[in-house]
Structure 1
Amino acid sequence: MEKNVTRVEATMIGCSPVPEPGVVPEPPGPLEGLNENDSTEAGEYRHDDHANVMTDLLVMAIQCDVTRVVTHMLDDSRSELEYRCIPEDVRAKVGLEYRQESSLHFHASQHGPGNLDRATEEGRYRIIEESNLDFAAINCWLGQKAAQLAQRLDAIREGDGTVLDHSVMVYMSEMRTHDHDAYDLPIVLLGGDGVFLNDAHVAYDPLGSDRQLRDLWFTIMNQYYDLGVASFGDDLRGEPNALLEEILR
């Protein structure tokens, strides 16, 4: 994609290529993440710069119609990055004291203090132990980066709306919190061109009587893209696919 977007002509209608991005160095080995200030042949690594370059590339590729399908992983595959890039104001949002260049290690924070029960109280999972602030600050920063991408897409006019209006953006994690459990996943759905609810929060029933993630993809494929898919994915309980009616307008 990076090679394609840099070949796009600036004269294309509605296309405003960003300057060619700088080199983003590769990790030094399998599954190893670069950390802030690590020296590379291209200079010192800056995680915030890396995230911003990726946003530029994604926006340009979509605006120039090089692609309309993007999968963007904001963190590395094992969450080994040390988030020294998170500024003071973001840390303050979660009540974390700022120390210059102090490191927030994502993987360590995932196994740090904080735990949710599998049981619920008044419709919410009972908090056994409050989440550690390092984990909260990192996720606040990641959320801001996702919001910046959405804002950039929403600023591009397209037909009777914006590029974001005419897209479906799904922001999520494969973990519900830092316990590595893959249920009760927090998911943000943006765009959708009037198909999905806006400014709404939908909470499904707890584990055992919940809805499957595959039904979200099933709903997007059929209600937004009108693909007429009969089924998608497997349910170990043997339940058939069903639309997530609660998220539809």
Structure 2
Amino acid sequence: MSAPQPCIHELRRSARMRLAASGHSSAALEADLLLSAVTGLARSQLIARSDARLSRLLPRPETETLVEQALDSLPASAALRVADLGTGSGAIAAALAHERPEWSLIGIERDAEALAVAALNVEQLRLNNLDLVHGDWSSALATASVDAILSNPPYVRHDDRHLTQGDLRFEPAAALVSGEDGLDAIRCIIADAPRCLRPGGLLAIEHGWDQGPSLRGLMQARGLKSIETLSDLAGRERVTRARYAHQNNQHLDQRPMT
């Protein structure tokens, strides 16, 4: 007989402990944001249903890599405009909005139901520096309107065997699959990034462990500079980022991306 699945209260406590041990100053809030992204529940619902048991696991650490690199490489006190493409329930954008009150976040999502969940989370967290927009990737962004673009888009190949295993069997295909090679959404984001980014702007995308070379090639072909790939906690290539080069890069802090 298998062990019972953990309840929401146990997951929240475990996530808080893990984040606190990693040095996060707002571990409780960030744990709830990440759990909201996984469960689709607003923070108030997580609290109200604390005894409910879930079949889903704690959030993957890969997305923490995407958030952490933004916090580390962008100036905390600057009035930056940061876009989260495919924001889903808003976990990434909300975490950044909370950690960086001087920044203005915009979360863009084409799925109306996911956007509704994000709106509930933003309302519960009282984040005044985060706007949500219904749109398809960067099509809602004006030219040269943001200092950074982050995205955790679908990046699974259509024939990936993992789609028929575990919890992935119950996930909407549109949230996971992106064409034959898993790169359709990523191509779209990279292609339009130079139009949307301000001089020196940052583009950072989460991707599959074996897709780093493809992203570096796509970014190079699009004229982006300072291209590098970061590994997740398991040592797998997980986030590739680059800068939009321009002669007058004074708006952003051009510190090395380490």
Pick the TM interval, shorter chain. Answer: under 0.3
- Counting strand residues as a fraction of each chain, which structure ranks higher? 2
Q: Which structure has the greater CA radius of gyration?
A: 1
- Counting helix residues as a fraction of each chain, which structure ranks higher? 2
Higher relative CO (CA 8 A, sep ≥ 6), structure 1 or 2?
Answer: 2
